[in-house]
């Protein structure tokens, strides 16, 4: 596993590799949301990225740097869905065989898309088996190259291009809310913000039942937990990546804060995106808006001069249509 810590220069290099390959996704606004929250919010819509999520950025950047020998042998990845699809699509574009380890309870739409892109899917039980052990066994048996979903310098650099594009379009922001699972998107965003919006405070948003990132930053060590029970399947991780933790700790608590969002808050955010912005966003992609709603008042107090400008990374839109309709119809406490 690579251990070098990426820098903003790596993010810029990733952007050059992704040019013409990844979509430069739109940045949208909603006057209704602005009025409700008393601030100006801008949404970087990675739900409209290739393969339906920001993950394409990191996956393509990593695979594009394979040696000829690695390309011939193939890639292996493990993922609940978005990284799986991203690696499978990137591998197809680069003519690399791909094996993807996915949990049995992954959304069917994500499994089908991964297979459709040409990935060979290997299923496992996320509550009883260790996907990292399965992936390593495939590496040793077939000579594949492992590209993990977040703890990899090329993946982190690629993910950082989403925030890079956002800052290039909007200029500096006061705050940026970023979904926080294994930490790849958040770490990459920290690198981009440090160069393009150094006064921006970043909020990494985890599901309420999976706050290992918050606890890790508070305790100064990587805290491991059981697989959290949440509808945010893209953030059902058990620990933050080592490289990501290194980047977030170096940024310091004055720059990075970990917060949480409830499943009920995610559903409300899904409904808002669908109703007022006409966007299909998966639960994990709603973490930023859900947390912004909770913390908007506190943010306004920190910026009493007014004109508060806040970014939200909408990380993905891969959700089964039937499940999407079911969640939008949910009222009250989720069971």
**CA separation for the pair 329, 311 (Å, rounded):** 28
Helix (H, G, I), strand (E, B) or coil at 208: coil
- Choosing from 64, 189, 197, 315, which is the catalytic residue? 315
- Choosing from 151, 206, 233, 282, which is the catalytic residue? 206
How is residue 214 written in tokens? 């918050």
Selection from 61, 36, 56, 35 nearest residue 46 by Cα: 56
Query: In Å, how far are 126, 210, 252, 288, 329 from 227, measured between CA atoms?
Result: 8, 8, 27, 21, 26
212 is catalytic: yes
Q: Which residues, 6+ apart, have CB-to-CB distance to 325 below 8 Å?
A: none
State the angle between helix axes of 321-328 and 263-276 in degrees (0 to 180), rounded to the nearest 10.
Answer: 100
Local structure of residue 200 (DSSP, 8 states): P
Burial state string for 164-199 with b = 16 or more CB within 10 A and e = fewer than 16: bbbbeebeebbbbbbbbbbbbbbbbbbbbbbebbee
Query: In Å, how far are 43, 118, 236, 335 from 106, measured between CA atoms?
Result: 26, 17, 11, 18
In the 3-class helix/strand/coil scheme, how is 11-22 assigned residue by residue? HHHHHHHHCCCC
194 is catalytic: no
Q: Which residues, 6+ apart, have CB-to-CB distance to 320 below 8 Å?
A: 107, 108, 109
288 is catalytic: no
- Choosing from 30, 64, 80, 189, which is the catalytic residue? 80
- Choosing from 154, 212, 233, 282, which is the catalytic residue? 212
79 is catalytic: no
Phi, psi (rounded to 5 degrees) for 165: -65, -40
State the angle between helix axes of 184-196 and 242-251 in degrees (0 to 180), rounded to the nearest 10.
Answer: 30
7 is catalytic: no
- Choosing from 158, 188, 210, 285, which is the catalytic residue? 210
- Choosing from 46, 55, 211, 282, which is the catalytic residue? 55
55 is catalytic: yes
Q: Which residues, 6+ apart, have CB-to-CB distance to 234 below 8 Å?
A: 53, 80, 81, 82, 179, 181, 282, 283, 284, 285, 315, 316
Catalytic positions are 55, 80, 206, 210, 212, 315
């Amino acid at each position: 596993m690579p251990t070098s810590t990426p820098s903003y220069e790596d993010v810029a290099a990733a952007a050059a590799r992704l040019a013409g390959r990844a979509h430069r996704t739109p940045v949208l606004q909603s006057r209704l949301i602005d009025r409700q929250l008393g601030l100006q919010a801008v949404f970087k819509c990675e739900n409209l990225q290739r393969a339906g999520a920001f993950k394409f950025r990191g996956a393509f950047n990593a695979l594009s740097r394979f040696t000829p020998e690695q390309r011939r042998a193939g890639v292996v990845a493990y993922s609940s869905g978005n990284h799986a699809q991203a690696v499978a699509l990137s591998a197809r574009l680069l003519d690399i065989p791909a094996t993807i380890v996915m949990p049995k309870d992954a959304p069917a739409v994500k499994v089908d898309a991964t297979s459709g892109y040409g990935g060979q899917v290997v299923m496992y039980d996320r509550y009883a088996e260790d996907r990292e052990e399965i992936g390593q066994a495939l590496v040793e048996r077939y000579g594949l190259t492992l590209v993990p979903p977040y703890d990899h310098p090329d993946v982190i650099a690629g993910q950082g291009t989403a925030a890079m594009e956002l800052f290039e379009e909007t200029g500096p922001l006061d705050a940026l809310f970023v979904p926080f699972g294994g930490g790849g998107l958040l770490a990459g965003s920290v690198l981009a913000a440090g160069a393009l919006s150094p006064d921006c405070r970043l909020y990494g948003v985890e599901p309420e039942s999976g706050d290992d990132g918050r606890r890790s930053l508070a305790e100064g060590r990587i805290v491991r937990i059981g697989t959290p029970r949440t509808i945010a399947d893209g953030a059902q991780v058990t620990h933050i990546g080592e490289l990501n933790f290194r980047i977030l700790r170096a940024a310091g608590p004055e720059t990075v804060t970990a917060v949480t969002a409830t499943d009920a808050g995610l559903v409300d955010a899904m409904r808002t995106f669908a109703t007022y912005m006409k966007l299909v966003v998966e639960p994990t992609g709603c973490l930023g808006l859900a947390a912004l709603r909770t913390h908007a008042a506190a943010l306004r107090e920190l910026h009493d001069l007014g004109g508060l400008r806040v970014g939200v990374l909408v990380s993905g839109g891969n959700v089964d249509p039937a499940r999407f309709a079911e969640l939008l119809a949910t009222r009250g406490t989720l069971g």
